[in-house]
Structure 1
Amino acid sequence: MKRDGQVRDVIGNTIKEKKLLSGAIVCTVLGAVLVSLVPPLILAQIVDRLTAGKDVTAVLMLLYFGMLALTGLLESVREGLLIVFGQKITHALRSRLMKKFGRLTTDNVNRQEPGTLVSRFVGDVDTVEKLFTSGIISMFADACRIVSILVVIWFRNRGLSLILLLLLPVLFLFTRQIQKRMLAAQIENRRAVGRASAYVPETLHNIRTIHCLKKETYMEEKYDQYIGVSYQAMERTNFYDAVYSPVILILNAVVVAVVMLLSASGNGKILTLFGMSAGTAVAVLSYISQIFRPVESLGMEIQTIQSAIAGIHRINEFFALEEKKEHPKSTGVRATKEVPFVEFRDVTFGYEEHVVLEHMSFKVMDGEQATLSGRTGAGKSTILKLLLGLYEPLEGDVLIHGVPAVQIGEEERRRLFGYVEQSFHMVPGTVRDQITLFDERITESQIRKAAELTGLQDAIEGLEHGYDTICTPELFSQGQWQLLSIARATAAGPSLLLLDEITANLDADTEKTVLQALNRAAQNRTVISISHRTSAKMGKIIAL
C-alpha cells in the first residue's frame, strides 16, 4: 500500500515547486511585522515633542503616515500571495485525490459513500486551503508580531513586559484547551456532514419506493438526525469561539488599567519598572492593543486550523486506503487454437469472509458462446468481474488466452473485451461520447458501424444534431439505451463479449429487439453471458 499521497507530502512538494512564491510570502509576512513596529515609535516622538512644547516636523508626520501605508500595502500583498498559494495547494490535493481514487481496489471503491467522497474532494480540501490563506501563516505572522512587540516593550517598559511574560503562558494553556475541544467538535461535524451528504443521493435514488410506502416522514426524521449531530458539534465549536474572544478582550482591558495605575502611583520603586513619558505611554498602549489583537485573532485562526486538521485527518484516511496491486503487464494477448480463450483454473474467491466461488474450473474456446447459470448469489456476476480484472482470485488462475486477467494492460482491454451491464450508465457528453467513452482510437466509421449493428443508426441520425446530440435521460427509450450499451461494447471491435442480464429489465417486445441486435454483435465473437430467461441463453450452459 502506497502512502506517498499524504497531505503533508503534497504541501511539501508544492512549497518546493513554488520556491519563489513561498519566499515572497515569508518576506512579506516578516516585512509587515517589522514595519508595523515603527509607527508607534514615531508617534511616541511626536507626543513627547508636543508635551515638551517643541514643533513637530512635516517629515516626522509624513514618515508616520508613510509607515502606516507601507504596513497596509505589505499585508495586502501577503493576502494576495496567500490566495494564490492556497489555490496551488487545492489543485495539487484534488489532483492527488483523483489519482488515488483511480488506484483504489474495487472493494474500496464500492465502499465509498458518494456524499462522503464528495465532501473529501470539496469541503475537506477547502479547509486545507484556508489553513494557509487564513490559518497557519496568519498564526506565524501573529507569533512574530507578539515576539517583536515584547522585545520593543522590554526596552520601553520592563514592568509591562514582565506582566505580559507571566500572562502569555496562561493564555497559551487556555488556548490549548480551547484547541483540543474545537478539534473534537470539528471532526464530529465532518463525519456528520459526510453522512448527511450521502443520505441525499440515496434518498433520491429510492424516491419512488419512498413515495409508494409513504416513508417521507421517516426519511425526514433520519435526515434531521444526521443534521442534528452536525448542528450540535457546530454549536460546541461556536461556544468555544464565543468564549475565547471576550476573555482576551477582558485581559487586554485589565492589563492596560493595571499599567496605567502603576505608572501613576508615584512610588519610586514601582516607577523604576512602570514609569514612562507621555509619548512612551501612547506607544505602549498601541503595542498592548497590537499584542492582544493577534492573540484574540488566534481564536478564529485556531478554529480554522482545527477545521483544517479535521479535514487533513479525513483526507489522510482516504490516502491510506488499499490500492490495486501492481502486476507485470502482459506483452500482448494472442489467440491460439490450442489455448482456451477463457479459462478458470481451480478458482476460489470471496468477499471478505464470504466465499462465493470455490474451486471453480471451466473453459470457453475461441468463438464459443456460453451462458452462466445458477441461483442468485451463486457468483455469476463475480465471474465476469474476475474476467474484467476488477478482482484477483484468492486461489487458482483466471486466464484469457493463457494470460492472467489482472495483467492485461489498459491499451489491450477495450479491443479484447466488451462488457454490457443490466442497465446503461450514461456519461456527460454527446451520443458519440456514449459510444466511444472518449477513446480517440475509435474512428468515426467504427462508431457508425456499431450503431448500425445494433439498429440505432436511424434513431441517432434522426436527432437534431445526430451523433453530436447532447445526451439526456429522456433522449432514448429503455430499450434504445440498452442497444446503445451494446454499441459501446462492440465499437472497438473486441473479440470477447461479456453480457450481464442485459434483458432483465425489458418487456418482451423490447427484449426481442435487443436479442436480435445481440445476435448480430455476437457473430465471430466469443460470448459469455448471464441470463435467467431461456430466450436469452446462448451456447453451452456452465452451471454454478
Structure 2
Amino acid sequence: MKKYNVKNSVIGTAKKNKIYIALLLLLVAAATILNVVPPLLMKKLIDYNFTLKTEDKLIFTAVIYVMVIFATGVVNFFREAVLTVLGQNITTDIRLLMMEKLEKISASYFSKNESGQISSRLINDVDAVSSMFTSGIAGMAIDLFKIIGVLISVFYLSRGLGIIALLLLPVIYFITRFFQKKMLGAQIENRKQVGEVNNHIAESFKNIFMIKSFSKESYMEDKYGLILENNYETLEKVNFYDSIFSPIIRIIRAAVIAFIAVMCSKELDYLGISVGMAAASIDLISSLFTPVENLGMELQSIQKSLSGVKRVDEFLREEEDIKETKEIFNFDINNVDIRFNNVSFAYDKGNEVLKDINFQINSFEKVTFTGRTGVGKSTLFKLIVGLLKPTEGSITINGTDVFQIQNKDKRKIFGYVEQNFHMIKGTVADQVSLGDSDITMDQIKNALNMVGLLEYVEGFEQGCSTVVQNENIFSQGQRQLLSIARALVNNPPILILDEITANLDQVTEEKIVSVLEKACENRTILTISHRLSSMAASDKIVILEAGRVKNIGTPEMLLKNDQWYKNHMKLENLTWT
C-alpha cells in the first residue's frame, strides 16, 4: 500500500519547485540585509549631518535611505508572491493526494463518518496545512533571520545594547511558548466543532423537503444554535489567547525602549553611545520586537495547522480496499456460481450486522432476500458486489473473492439498482454510462429502449446529449427506469435489485415490474423485497433474521414449513390486495 502523509507530499512539492524555493531564500537574505540598513543610515545622518551640522553627503545618504526603504518593499512584495505560489502548489498537491486516497478508501469509512466532517477535512484542513508552510513555518524562518540580523547590528553598535537585546529573547520565548500550548488545545477543539457545523448544514440541505414537510424548521434551528454555541465557546478561547498575546509584547517593547532612552540620557549616560547610535539602536530594537511579535502569530498559525495536519494524516492512514488480484476477471455467464462462505460483517467492532452466512446461488437463479428492516439485507448486497469486505469469511464468484475483483471489471459482472436514483452532472447519456468512455451511444440507446425511455428521451431537443439541468425532467418512476438502464448498459450477467419499487405507486410499479421481467431473462437475479406476494417468480427465497439466515427455500416450500412466511402472506392477502 502506498504510504500517504502530509510530510511526503510537501517534500514532493518542494522537489518540483526548486526554483521558487531558491528564489525565496535569495529574497529572504536580501530582506534581512535591507531591514538593518536604514537604522545604520539614520545613525550616520544624526551623528555626522545633524549633530555636527555638516552637509557632507547629506543628500546622497538621504537618497540611499529612501532607495533602501523602497527596495525593502519590492523585495517583500516578491517574497509574498513566491510564498503564495508555493502555498497554492502545496494545497493542490495535497488535495490531489486526498482525492487519490478517497478513490481507494474502504466504503465502510463513509458509513462511520458523516459527509460534513469528510468535506471539512478536504477543504478547511487542507487550507490550514497550506498556511502552515507559508504564513507559518516560512514566515517564522523569515522572522528568525530578521532577529539574527538585528542582533548582529545591535552588537555592532553597542555591546551593552546587544546584551540587553539578547536577554529579551528568552523572555519573549517563554511567553510565546505558554500561549503556544494554550492555543493548540483550543484550536483542535474548535476544528472539531467546525466539522459539526459543516455536517449540520449538509444534513439540512440534504433533508430540506422532509424538514419542511414535517414542520421541523424550529427543531433544526435549535439544534444548529446549540452546535454554534459550542463552536462559539471554543472560538472564544482561541480569540482570547490571540488577543492577549499581542498587547503583552507591545507593553514589553515600550518598556525596553523607555529603559534604553533613560540609559542613554545625559544625566546617566551608562552606555556611552552617541545620539545617532542611540536612535539607531532604538530603531533596531523596535524592529526586533516586530518579528518576535509575528512569531506569536505564526506560532498560532502553526498550532492551528498542526490540528489540520493531524486530521489530514488520519484520513490518509484510513484502510484501503486493497485488490490483490490485478488481472481482468473473466467467466462464463452461463456458469455463475456465487458462494457465501461463513460470512460475518460488522461496521463497528463487536457489533455484528451479519453472522455466519452460508449458502450458494447458481446460474440464472432468481433469489429474493427478505426479513425485517435492519436485518442486514442491503449490507449483504454491498458485500456481494465487493463494496464492503467481510469481517470474517468470503463471498466468491466461480472461486474468486469478489472483494479482490478490480472495480473496473465489476460493472461488467454486476448491475446494481438501488432504491433511489442519484443524478450526476452531465447529459442524459452520462446518467446511464456514468461517463464511461468504453460505453458506446448504441449501448446507451439500447439500455434506454429496454426500459421504455428511449422515445421519451429522443423527444428532447438534443436527445441523449441533452444536459440535465434539473432532475425534475424525469418523474420518480422514470428515474427508477434510468437506474435500471444504468445497471443494464453493460449487459451484466448478474442483476441486483435493492427494493426498487418501495417508493412507487401501483401503476408505476407494474410498469417497472414488466420492464424487469424482460430485463431478467438469461440473468442471475438477486433482489430485496418486503412484499412477499411479489416473490412468486423467485426460484429461492432467503429469510434473514437477526443477521442470520433463518430459512432458505422455494415460495411453495416456505408456505408449508415456515410460519413467519405463511403469516406474512396471509397479512398481505388481507391488506395489500
TM superposition score category, shorter chain reference: over 0.9
Q: How does 1:415-430 map to 2 (within 5 A)?
A: 415-430=412-427
- Aligned-pair identity (%): 39
Partner AA of 1:63 in structure 2: I
**8 Å contact kept, 1:14–1:89:** yes
Farther-moved stretch of structure 1 (358-367 vs 515-524) = 358-367
Deviations 1:155-185 (A, max 9, x none): 2122222222222111110111111111111
**8 Å contact kept, 1:193–1:226:** no
CA displacement at 1:209 relative to structure 2: 4.6
Pick closer, same or farther for the CA change 1:358–1:238 going to 2, 3 Å: closer
Taking the aligned partners of 2:53 and 2:266, their CA distance within structure 1 comes to: 25
* 1:108 alignment partner in structure 2: 109
Pick closer, same or farther for the CA change 1:7–1:523 going to 2, 3 Å: same
Partner AA of 2:218 in structure 1: T
**8 Å contact kept, 2:323–2:405:** no
* 1:55 alignment partner in structure 2: 55
* 1:515 alignment partner in structure 2: 513
* 1:491 alignment partner in structure 2: 489
Q: Please give the secondary structure, in 1, of the residue aligned with 2:12.
A: helix
**8 Å contact kept, 2:264–2:278:** no
Partner AA of 2:490 in structure 1: A
Farther-moved stretch of structure 1 (420-429 vs 520-529) = 520-529
CA displacement at 1:144 relative to structure 2: 1.0
Taking the aligned partners of 1:536 and 1:486, their CA distance within structure 2 comes to: 18
Taking the aligned partners of 2:287 and 2:366, their CA distance within structure 1 comes to: 81
**8 Å contact kept, 1:416–1:496:** yes
Taking the aligned partners of 1:409 and 1:284, their CA distance within structure 2 comes to: 70
* 2:179 alignment partner in structure 1: 178
Taking the aligned partners of 1:474 and 1:391, their CA distance within structure 2 comes to: 32
Pick closer, same or farther for the CA change 1:166–1:346 going to 2, 3 Å: closer
* 1:436 and 2:433 correspond: yes
* 1:341 alignment partner in structure 2: 337
Partner AA of 2:522 in structure 1: N
Taking the aligned partners of 1:333 and 1:166, their CA distance within structure 2 comes to: 75
Q: How does 1:140-159 map to 2 (within 5 A)?
A: 140-159=141-160
**8 Å contact kept, 1:371–1:539:** yes
Farther-moved stretch of structure 1 (481-490 vs 299-308) = 299-308
**8 Å contact kept, 1:372–1:542:** yes
**8 Å contact kept, 1:333–1:400:** no
CA displacement at 1:64 relative to structure 2: 1.9
Corresponding residue to 2:403 among 403, 406, 413: 406
Deviations 1:288-333 (A, max 9, x none): 2211111222232222222211211221222222222342235522
Q: TM-score, normalised by structure 1?
A: 0.94
* 1:458 and 2:455 correspond: yes
* 1:500 alignment partner in structure 2: 498
CA displacement at 1:26 relative to structure 2: 1.6
* 1:354 alignment partner in structure 2: 351
Q: Please give the secondary structure, in 2, of the residue aligned with 1:464.
A: coil
* 1:240 alignment partner in structure 2: 241
CA displacement at 1:208 relative to structure 2: 4.6
CA displacement at 1:212 relative to structure 2: 5.2
* 1:254 and 2:255 correspond: yes
* 1:68 alignment partner in structure 2: 69
CA displacement at 1:446 relative to structure 2: 0.3
Taking the aligned partners of 2:479 and 2:222, their CA distance within structure 1 comes to: 37
Taking the aligned partners of 1:354 and 1:238, their CA distance within structure 2 comes to: 42
Taking the aligned partners of 1:383 and 1:251, their CA distance within structure 2 comes to: 67
* 1:192 alignment partner in structure 2: 193
Taking the aligned partners of 1:396 and 1:181, their CA distance within structure 2 comes to: 48
Q: Please give the secondary structure, in 2, of the residue aligned with 1:147.
A: helix
Taking the aligned partners of 1:348 and 1:164, their CA distance within structure 2 comes to: 68
CA displacement at 1:61 relative to structure 2: 2.7
Partner AA of 2:81 in structure 1: G
**8 Å contact kept, 1:333–1:401:** no
CA displacement at 1:542 relative to structure 2: 2.7
Taking the aligned partners of 2:97 and 2:376, their CA distance within structure 1 comes to: 34
* 1:93 alignment partner in structure 2: 94
CA displacement at 1:414 relative to structure 2: 1.2
**8 Å contact kept, 1:327–1:406:** no
Partner AA of 1:314 in structure 2: R
CA displacement at 1:461 relative to structure 2: 1.2
Taking the aligned partners of 1:501 and 1:139, their CA distance within structure 2 comes to: 59
Q: Please give the secondary structure, in 2, of the residue aligned with 1:135.
A: helix
Taking the aligned partners of 1:353 and 1:451, their CA distance within structure 2 comes to: 45
Taking the aligned partners of 2:353 and 2:114, their CA distance within structure 1 comes to: 24
Partner AA of 2:350 in structure 1: E
Taking the aligned partners of 1:394 and 1:191, their CA distance within structure 2 comes to: 30
Taking the aligned partners of 1:297 and 1:10, their CA distance within structure 2 comes to: 27
**8 Å contact kept, 1:451–1:484:** yes
**8 Å contact kept, 2:365–2:540:** no
Taking the aligned partners of 1:242 and 1:131, their CA distance within structure 2 comes to: 20
Q: Please give the secondary structure, in 1, of the residue aligned with 2:352.
A: strand
Q: Please give the secondary structure, in 1, of the residue aligned with 2:24.
A: helix
Pick closer, same or farther for the CA change 1:177–1:444 going to 2, 3 Å: same
Deviations 1:103-141 (A, max 9, x none): 221211222211111111111111222223322211111
Taking the aligned partners of 1:232 and 1:355, their CA distance within structure 2 comes to: 38
Taking the aligned partners of 1:84 and 1:142, their CA distance within structure 2 comes to: 20
RMSD: 2.0
**8 Å contact kept, 2:323–2:403:** no
Segments of 5+ residues of structure 2 without an aligned counterpart are 544-577
Taking the aligned partners of 2:234 and 2:353, their CA distance within structure 1 comes to: 42
* 1:276 alignment partner in structure 2: 273
CA displacement at 1:539 relative to structure 2: 2.7
Taking the aligned partners of 1:366 and 1:106, their CA distance within structure 2 comes to: 28
**8 Å contact kept, 1:3–1:319:** no
Deviations 1:505-532 (A, max 9, x none): 1110000111111122212222111112
Taking the aligned partners of 1:298 and 1:276, their CA distance within structure 2 comes to: 30
Q: Please give the secondary structure, in 2, of the residue aligned with 1:37.
A: helix
Farther-moved stretch of structure 1 (311-320 vs 424-433) = 311-320
Taking the aligned partners of 2:525 and 2:265, their CA distance within structure 1 comes to: 98
Q: Please give the secondary structure, in 1, of the residue aligned with 2:75.
A: helix
**8 Å contact kept, 1:330–1:407:** no
Q: Please give the secondary structure, in 2, of the residue aligned with 1:532.
A: coil
Partner AA of 1:348 in structure 2: S
Q: How does 1:374-393 map to 2 (within 5 A)?
A: 374-393=371-390
CA displacement at 1:340 relative to structure 2: 3.9
CA displacement at 1:402 relative to structure 2: 2.3
Deviations 1:258-298 (A, max 9, x none): 1111112545xx63xx2211221221122122111112222
Partner AA of 2:506 in structure 1: A
Taking the aligned partners of 2:35 and 2:90, their CA distance within structure 1 comes to: 29
* 1:225 and 2:253 correspond: no
Taking the aligned partners of 2:135 and 2:392, their CA distance within structure 1 comes to: 53
Q: Please give the secondary structure, in 1, of the residue aligned with 2:471.
A: coil
Partner AA of 1:499 in structure 2: L
Q: Please give the secondary structure, in 1, of the residue aligned with 2:344.
A: strand
Pick closer, same or farther for the CA change 1:336–1:243 going to 2, 3 Å: closer
* 2:571 alignment partner in structure 1: none
Partner AA of 1:54 in structure 2: T
